Amino acid sequence: MKLMDKDIDNSNEEFDMDHAVAEEVLDDLAFYRTIVANVCMIGKPDSDNWLLVDTGVAHYTKRIIAAVEKRFGDKAPSAIILTHGHFDHVGSSKELAKYWDVPIYIHSDEIDYVTGKDTYPPADPTVGGGTLSLLSPFFPQKPVNFKKWVKPLPENGEIPFLDEWKYIHTPGHSPGHIVLFRESDRTLITGDAIVTEKPESAVAVFIPLQKVYGPPAYFTSDWVKAEESVKKLAALEPETLLSGHGLPMEGDLLREQLHDLADNFIEQAIPKNKKH
């Protein structure tokens, strides 16, 4: 599959594609880091079906394709799955879906936000905006609309093409947010339901520490539901965690920190001015 400039409307992308490399977490799980958000790849490099989870910020299409081709050759993913519709997770979705001619799956409660029908409440700068200012050039100028490619995820929790994986509805950060979970080895992909880098701090983006944090505060719309969702995730007792922001985590350290966050959610995750 040869990448042609005319195929992708991202003419301002200039980047040495040698640097676009996915990092392997498990033999069938890898991630590629866009400016702040992770793009996940589920599936072994030689498997018939593999999925791309989230697509990072805009203008990363060519880099994502380069990272994908290094891992999967010219085998396109069977579909794109979105954990939710925030701009830092869906930025390159349309171009990628068009390029590979694949569907984009998202939870039915989130679908209006990626089909031009609804927009999220604006980011709340009063909670601290470190990464926010870094990301501002990527803010969408108009409502996101991938109507041609979007499909709702099946209601029974199944992930298309991957039998072993299920999705779990984890509202709070956004209404139709989902995480992906594989019970056999307790692998968890969380989008923004929990993250491993403190997104309100600009410094955290450059000094990655492995720590479990609550959802990015400036876009979280419902803190009560967000807490319920974090408790749900702690009960899964995950062994491996790959979140939407930050580095992967595993084992006892992951579970201890996740339980600590679930048990002390109000103190640890909710910004001071949002507590009541």
Which residues are at the interface with Zn ion (CB under 5 A)? 86, 88, 192, 219, 244
> Tokens representing 7?
């195929």
Contact of 37 with 85, CB cutoff 8 Å: no
Can you say how many angstroms the Cα of residue 84 is from the centroid of all Cα atoms in its chain? 7
Q: How far is the CB of 36 from Zn ion (least distance, A)?
A: 7
Q: If 0-12 CB within 10 Å is exposed, 13-18 middle and 19+ buried, where does residue 232 land? A: middle
Q: How far is the CB of 194 from Zn ion (least distance, A)?
A: 11
Q: How far is the CB of 139 from Zn ion (least distance, A)?
A: 13
Give 28 or 104: the residue with its C-beta nearer to Zn ion: 104
Give 72 or 249: the residue with its C-beta nearer to Zn ion: 249
Q: How far is the CB of 78 from Zn ion (least distance, A)?
A: 24
Q: How far is the CB of 2 from Zn ion (least distance, A)?
A: 32
Give 72 or 265: the residue with its C-beta nearer to Zn ion: 265
Give 43 or 244: the residue with its C-beta nearer to Zn ion: 244
Give 28 or 270: the residue with its C-beta nearer to Zn ion: 270
Give 42 or 132: the residue with its C-beta nearer to Zn ion: 132
Q: Is the dihedral of CA 124, 126, 130, 133 positive or negative?
A: positive
All residues at 6 or more sequence positions from 148 whose CB lies less than 8 Å from its CB, including other chains: none
H runs (alpha helix) in 111-249: 130-135, 223-235
Nearest C-alpha neighbor of 86 from the set 118, 115, 53, 114: 114
- Measured at the alpha carbon of residue 145, what is the angle toward residues 107 and 69, in degrees to the nearest 5? 80
Nearest C-alpha neighbor of 88 from the set 142, 136, 24: 136
Q: How far is the CB of 54 from Zn ion (least distance, A)?
A: 8
Give the residue closest to Zn ion by C-beta: 86
Contact of 189 with 236, CB cutoff 8 Å: no
